[in-house]
Amino acid sequence: MLESDGPGGAELVVLRLAIELRRRGHQVVPVGPIDGVGWLGERFREAGFEPEQFGLRRAVDVSGPARLAELLARRGVQAVHSHEFTMCVYGAAAAKRLGVPHITTMHGSQTMTRALRRRAALRWAYRRSRAVVAVSEATRVQLRQDLGLRADALTLVRNGVPVVRGDRARARAEFGLRDHDVMVLAVGNLDPRKGHRVLLTALQQLTAAGIDTPWHLVIAGGRGGPEREPLLAFAAEHGLADRVHVLGQREDVPDLQAGADVFAMPSLWEGLPLALLEGMIAGNACIASRTSGIPEAITDGEHGVLVPPGEVEPLAQALVPLLTDAGLRERLGAAAHRRAMQEFTIEAMTDRYEALLGLGPTTSGAANS
């Protein structure tokens, strides 16, 4: 269950986890918001699921747990997995009514625990959950501190991504790239916290300083956001319009990852971002902010390059060797791929969730989640 259904990291985790659980023989009932944008529900239906919808009648809906419990009982649910704040609280209450185990996953947010009432609600829900999962150690530490929890109150399950081979030639042809052009890829909604303007400014400064590497920046912008027009205006102002490609939601991110030479994630904060893990799986040289869960995936200088979040100069300096040294890109990309294959696959993530839910592998299709 997830309270949002637009294109994004948590939504992809829910979708991919459901697909892998079903592959292992479990029946999965996706539950999303009744007043959402519909992207995730459509993806579920395309994959052959029958999703349900749930909505609140007011900000604090005392009838919500009963209605949600009725929905889950009708579908024969035997275990509940909630994601993020709203579904965590109402899911815990509904699971308690049904007498079935409940776990919840928190994907990382710097704003989720600011309000006292939200902190109180989370502590209440956590006490009624079999397990509370954080997707990164940084998220686990933040939640433990913000909510005043004991050290063992949260479980760590890092995100995983599918191993998919993309089409490099197709992606590069779309943007008219030559063999020696260096494609820098960023994936994420066009929000200020994703740091896309910091990245573009760093690339512009390198060009102005005489770095003549023919780079192209491709930003797959997910659900969009307020940064699209400022990015395009900045590129036009500095004569870079033909080298900056700001895209909307893309269903071919594996192709974009395959077409890239450098994957960049200059975010101000994250949980454990799927796009970074996908860049690692693709074998890209990765440059990312030293923030949140990112250093748990990348060791600086070994699997990629880490820089301070929000700072143009360090990012620009770190980009120089990545843009100019193909051997360095190959070495870092190979190390990133090995690390991701060991720790960040969808199979490894699902193993951990299956155990937390108490769902042994089945071939009968009798287990529900």
Interior angle at CA 207, CA 204 and CA 213, nearest 5: 120
Residue extent(s) of CATH 3.40.50.2000 domains in the chain: 9-160+346-356, 168-343
Closest C-alpha among 153, 29, 100 to residue 358: 100
Res 366: pLDDT: 36
| pLDDT tens series, the chain, 369 aa | 999 999 989 999 999 999 999 999 999 999 999 999 999 999 999 999 999 999 999 989 999 999 999 999 999 999 999 999 999 999 999 999 999 999 999 998 767 788 899 999 999 999 999 999 999 999 999 999 999 999 899 999 999 999 999 999 999 999 999 999 999 999 999 999 999 999 999 999 999 999 999 999 999 998 899 999 999 999 999 999 999 999 998 999 999 999 999 999 999 999 899 999 999 999 999 999 999 999 999 999 999 999 999 999 999 999 999 999 999 999 999 999 999 999 999 999 999 999 999 886 554 333 344
Res 89: pLDDT: 97
216 bridge partner residues = 183
CATH architecture of 9-160+346-356: 3-Layer(aba) Sandwich (3.40)
What gap in Å lies between CA 183 and CA 201, rounded to an integer?
16
> 45 CB contacts (<8 Å, ≥6 apart)?
51
Closest C-alpha among 84, 87, 85 to residue 68: 87
Determine the topology of domain 168-343 in CATH: Rossmann fold (3.40.50)
Res 368: pLDDT: 41
